[in-house]
Structures are given as C-alpha cells and as structure tokens.
Amino acid sequence: MGTVNGIVVSDRMLPNHASNWVPPGTRSTSLELFLIANSPSDYDAMLPIRVGQGMTDIAKTRDAILHFSFGDEFLFWRIWYEPATIDAGFIVENKEYEIKVWNAYLDVTASITAVSGVATDGTTISHDSLPISIGKFGDEQLILTVLGEGPPLQSTIYTVTVNSVDYTTEIEGIRVVPVPWEPDWDSKVNIEMHFTTALQRNKYFVEQRRPLRYTPYYKFAFRIIAEGLSAQKMKQTMSYGHDKVFGIPVFTEHAYPASDFNSSTTITTSNDLTNLWNLNNQAEYIVIIDHTTLQAEIKEIDTVNANSIECAVAVSDTFTWQRCIVYPVVMCTAEGTSVNPQSDSVFYGDFRMIQYERATGV
C-alpha cells in the first residue's frame, strides 16, 4: 500500500478542477493528496483515493493559503531604488542620468529626507525640495548630471535617504584630455594596430592559433612642433596628462565640415567618409579641432554617413566651421612623452601613446 507523502495546496482555475458548488471562474484552492507507490501493485490500491477533485471549502481555508502572489513577494511592500552604479564611461560632455525611487507600498507614503554626496565635483544632482513625499505606489526621479568639465577620474557616491534608509548610487567615469595640435608629418605619424595570438608551432610547421582578442588595440607615435604659447600649452598638457586619458585623433582620417554645425548634432562634410576605416568601424568618438585656436571638443558618434557624422549630443562649443577638422578619436594613455626645445620658444613634442581600454565600472 502507498504511503501519504504530503499534502499540496495549489491554486487552480475553476471549473475544471473543482466541485460543482464553487462558482465557475472563482480562483480557488484545492487540496490534493499525493501517494507514493511502494510497488507496482500499489497503484491499483491507490486509485480509489486519488482525490485531486475540488474538495476544499474556500470559505474555510482562506487563511491557509501558503504562498502569496509574485507581486506580494517580489514587487510590492518595499522601496525600489536604482541604479546602484552609473558607468559614465569616457566623459566628453554633459551626460544626464535618472535616479529613480519607487514607493511600492500600496498603503503608506514614503519620504526622501536627505540627498548627500561624496566627491561630487564634476556632477550635479537636481530634485524637488526636501523632504520629498512620495505617494502610495508613487515614484520620484532625481536627475544626476555628469559634467563634461570636472576631475580626470570621476568617482562619486550619492546617498539618498528614503524612510530613514540610505540608498547609494556610485558614479564612475574618466574625462578625456584632447590633443588639439597638428602632427609634424615630416617626422611621420606612426599608427599601429595590434592583435595578440596564442600560437603553437612544432618543427614540422604544424600550427595551432587562437586569437586572444577580436579587436585591435592601437599605438600612436607622432611629433608636434609648436611655438610660443602653443608650445607652452603643449608642454603643460603633456605634464597634466601623464596619468590621464588622452583623446588622440586618428590624424590620417580627416573629415572637413561643409557648413556650420554649431549647436547641431549633424556635421556635414565636404569629403567622402566611406573610405575612412577607423571612423566607420572602430571609433566611438570624434574630436572637432580648430588647429589655429587649439579649440577642441570630443563628441560621441551616433552614426557615420557618406558625407555626414551624426553626434549623440549636439556640439556645445562655438566653432568657426571653415577652420575645423573632424577626426575619429582613440582613447590613449601616454606610453612616453618628451619635450625637446629647439629654441627658447619652439618645442618638439614627441608623443608615444597606447590605447586605453577601460574595464567596465573602473
């Protein structure tokens, strides 16, 4: 004979699984007895007591429901707060992020009583005046802006106090130092694209090869000749950027603006862009440079077309478009830099740069 292994109370939709005294369509709980057969012959003996049919009086068992709804268990009756981290990536312009607070209590209000931050330089946060009352099942958004200008490494924590509980958002990012000088073509611009391959070969020339990376990393070497104030700025930029990330233009891929692009996301170009490999395939950013004034602005690329570049965010500086050149940018750290004065005001600046590939969240 089988043994009673357990009693399972489960939700079923009627009327398929209920006795006829329960109104059709009513969500009910039915009781089933499950027996474990000890031997094949036990099945026959068990048949009469396979109950399964609705045999439960809902009115009497309401208090005995064992598990709640998904919403009750996982959604409601708590405060939701996000995000815990914001990876601002390479910071080249103002970026806005939302910090969301959701009062998922159905019957009580919540209150944001304090917003504070640590190392907030380079960021702003805007919200209603405190305390902020959040209605039942209501939500509130705080707007965090990571500014284009700020410390080279952004590492900020904001704390939002909701119902006396502290919730935090950590912001990480890296600001990029542009290099707005033209290279000295006479001493050559060196661009290297590197892969890494795991390769084994025996003396019979049988090989096994595996790529250790699927995109190349870049190295640049070039010289800049600058004079006077421009030379001084170059030297200071080298020194300032020794532990920072430079936005190195791919000097060999020019895009020449064909019209005014100030305050616009679209830069229309006079030359064909389709044969510029880095711009079309590798670059995530461009830099707009006026080499005359050393004015530069780095923008994130949205799309590249045959004769235009669509930026993710509108150009914010005011450029004289006739003097500007647009280049794709590779983020690099300095592998080696040197300044060689040729006179008291003319400097050679030698740059050896290696691509900086960020680990996410660092």
Partner 1 sequence: MADSLEDLGGYDLFPIEPNWAVTPKGDLDLAKELINYPGTVSQLIGFTYDVPEVWSFGFSPDKDEEYDLINFFVGKYGRTGAFWMKLPHTEFTLTTTALSGSTELRVERNLAERQYQGYERVWIDMHTGDILTREVNDTTDETTYLSLSLTTSLDRDITLTNHYKICRLLFCRFDEDALIMNYSQDYYPQITIYVRELVKEYP
Closer residue to partner 1, CB minimum distance, 22 or 250 = 250
- Judged by CB under 8 A, the residue of 38, 53, 94, 196 near partner 1 is 196
Kindly state whether residue 281 participates in binding partner 1, applying the rule CB under 8 A: yes
Query: Which range, of 28-36, 59-67, 272-280, 345-353, touches partner 1 by CB under 8 A?
Result: 272-280
Q: Name the minimum Å distance from CB 217 to partner 1.
A: 10
Q: Name the minimum Å distance from CB 219 to partner 1.
A: 8
Alpha carbon distance 170, 158 (integer Å): 6
Residues 6+ apart with CB under 8 A from 140: 100, 101, 103, 112, 127, 128, 132, 134
Alpha carbon distance 268, 257 (integer Å): 6
- Judged by CB under 8 A, the residue of 63, 107, 186, 243 near partner 1 is 186
Q: Which residues pair with 156 in a beta bridge?
A: 171
Closer residue to partner 1, CB minimum distance, 195 or 240 = 195
Give residues 199-238 in contact with partner 1 (rule: CB under 8 A): 199, 203-207, 209-211, 213-216
CB–CB of 337/256 below 8 Å? no
Alpha carbon distance 83, 171 (integer Å): 10
- Shortest CA distance to 26 belongs to which of 41, 16, 39? 16
Kindly state whether residue 336 participates in binding partner 1, applying the rule CB under 8 A: no
Closer residue to partner 1, CB minimum distance, 92 or 250 = 250
What token pair was written down for 282?
A: 């590798």
- 198-207: burial string, b at 16+ Cβ within 10 Å, e else: eeeeeeeeee
Closer residue to partner 1, CB minimum distance, 244 or 352 = 352
Closer residue to partner 1, CB minimum distance, 281 or 318 = 281
Q: Name the minimum Å distance from CB 257 to partner 1.
A: 16
- Judged by CB under 8 A, the residue of 115, 132, 189, 346 near partner 1 is 189
Residues 6+ apart with CB under 8 A from 34: 4, 5, 6, 7, 8
Alpha carbon distance 226, 33 (integer Å): 89
Query: Which range, of 53-61, 105-113, 250-258, 340-348, touches partner 1 by CB under 8 A?
Result: 250-258
Alpha carbon distance 267, 305 (integer Å): 10
Closer residue to partner 1, CB minimum distance, 120 or 252 = 252
Placement of tokens 């969240």 in the chain: 361
Q: Name the minimum Å distance from CB 277 to partner 1.
A: 4
Give residues 3-32 in contact with partner 1 (rule: CB under 8 A): none
Residues 6+ apart with CB under 8 A from 22: 14, 15, 28, 54, 58
User: What Cα–Cα distance (Å) separates residue 184 from each residue in 165, 189, 192, 226, 297?
Assistant: 58, 8, 17, 10, 21
Query: Which range, of 82-90, 163-171, 248-256, 259-267, touches partner 1 by CB under 8 A?
Result: 248-256
Kindly state whether residue 253 participates in binding partner 1, applying the rule CB under 8 A: yes
Q: Which residues pair with 290 in a beta bridge?
A: 295, 324
Give residues 93-132 in contact with partner 1 (rule: CB under 8 A): none
- Judged by CB under 8 A, the residue of 197, 200, 343, 360 near partner 1 is 197
CB–CB of 320/314 below 8 Å? no
Kindly state whether residue 254 participates in binding partner 1, applying the rule CB under 8 A: yes
Closer residue to partner 1, CB minimum distance, 70 or 214 = 214
User: Which residues are at the interface with partner 1 (CB under 8 A)?
Assistant: 185-186, 188-197, 199, 203-207, 209-211, 213-216, 251-254, 275-278, 281
